[in-house]
Structure 1
Amino acid sequence: MGFSNHFRSGCKIIFEQEPCVIESSEFVKPGKGQAFFRVKMRKLLTKQLIEKTFKSTAYLEIANIQECTLSYLYNNGRFWYFMKNNTFEELSIEKRIIGTYRKWLLPQDICTVTFWNNKPISILPKNFVNLKVIDVQPVAKGNTVNTSGSTKLAKLITGAIVKVPLFIQIGYIIKIDTRSGQYVSRLK
């Protein structure tokens, strides 16, 4: 159990039978009445943001959360398979847990997997990935001048579709920010 005066940013607790991570905590001592903590926390399963106040004497259960770095191996459409690099143990994770991050995964990529009570609940790929362009949207003739903000759609080797500048062609390798899904730069 953890008392509310130990709630700090990054602390993982159980709230409403779900693991949550505390994003911010503020101690408030009003002129009248009892002191309390104003806490913003995010549910790890649903990513829902919750704002809650706790009495200074309140306590919650500390969540059994571990983060592990794993290498992505392959998928069969239903499960994504990862390997622990130090023990070579193979682990399967359901498609629903992988979510939209599957479009940024290539074999041998390193990911951070979050476990709650030894069960995977989320993955986080690297912040930046380098992916090959396999198809681009044709550009209308006369629209080849690179004006500010001119983009076209490109399909990447993983199946992801992103907006890229007009000069990007098939075969180019580009850097993508996985947090926003946006083009960052072209690699030479």
Structure 2
Amino acid sequence: MPKITGNEIRPGFILDHDGGLWSAVKVDIVKPGKGGAFAQVELRNLRSGSKLNERFRSADKVERVTLEQKDQQFLYEQDGKLVFMDAESFEQIEIPAALLGERRPFLQDGMTAVVQYYDEEPLSAQLPAKVTCVVASTEPVVNGQTASKSFKPATLDNGVRIMVPPFIGQDEAIIVNTETMEYSERA
């Protein structure tokens, strides 16, 4: 595995640190008035989900891990586990639903997700960037509200509450960005 210096860490990097696999969530480069610069990194453990704030100086070396990525089809959820199937070998794997966190409701039956592996161990799943959902309920349009850029709350068919533009009505299909969990466009 390649070693990188502390100032080369970027969000999304997977690091082998303190005997565990950690994903860099947020990286701030701090340049104090006195002393050398350092990277303040917020890390999330890929196995337990715990968070850690760590300070890396530019002289510190850390191992960057490259995960194998495979496209897998989501089949069903059972006992808090998500069951995926490999499209080539038809092998089924289970991933804890907690790994998706707040994005779990956007996972739909038959959807293809990218599952990341480390030595044959599935660690995480990435959903497609945009997902089509149906607005289950929202407030009616108020005349004159469209003059300025305003939003109104809406509940989607998967139970998630997001803000949508005033012209979106109930039972309309919309596209939601799964990274930011925000309205993107009409479907």
- The TM-score bracket by the shorter chain reads 0.7 to 0.9
1:76-155 aligned within 5 A: 76=78, 78-138=80-140, 143-145=142-144, 146-155=146-155
Report sequence identity in percent.
20
Deviates more, 1:15-24 or 1:124-133: 15-24
**Cα separation, 2, equivalents of 1:88 and 1:37:** 49
CA apart distance, 1:185 = 1.0
Q: Does 1:52 align with 2:51?
A: no
**Cα separation, 2, equivalents of 1:118 and 1:81:** 16
Q: Which amino acid aligns with 1:165?
A: P
| TM-score, normalization by structure 1 | 0.73
Q: Which amino acid aligns with 1:169?
A: G
Q: Could you list the runs of 5+ residues in structure 2 that have no partner in the other structure? A: 30-35
Deviates more, 1:157-166 or 1:70-79: 70-79
Q: Which amino acid aligns with 2:102?
A: T
| TM-score, normalization by structure 2 | 0.73
Residues 3 and 73 (structure 1), Cα distance of their counterparts in 2 relative to 1, 3 Å cut: closer
Q: Secondary structure of the equivalent of 2:103? A: helix
Structure with bigger gyration radius: 1
Q: How many residues align?
A: 175
Q: Which amino acid aligns with 1:166?
A: P
Q: CA RMSD in A?
A: 3.4
Q: Could you list the runs of 5+ residues in structure 1 that have no partner in the other structure? A: 27-35
Q: Which residue of 2 aligns with 1:157?
A: 157
**Cα separation, 1, equivalents of 2:103 and 2:4:** 34
Q: Which amino acid aligns with 1:52?
A: F
Contact residue 39 and residue 57 of structure 2 kept, 8 A: yes
1:20-59 aligned within 5 A: 20=22, 43-45=43-45, 46=50, 48=52, 50-53=54-57, 55=59
Render the CA deviation track for 1:59-79: whole Å, top value 9, x for unaligned: 555546322221112213611
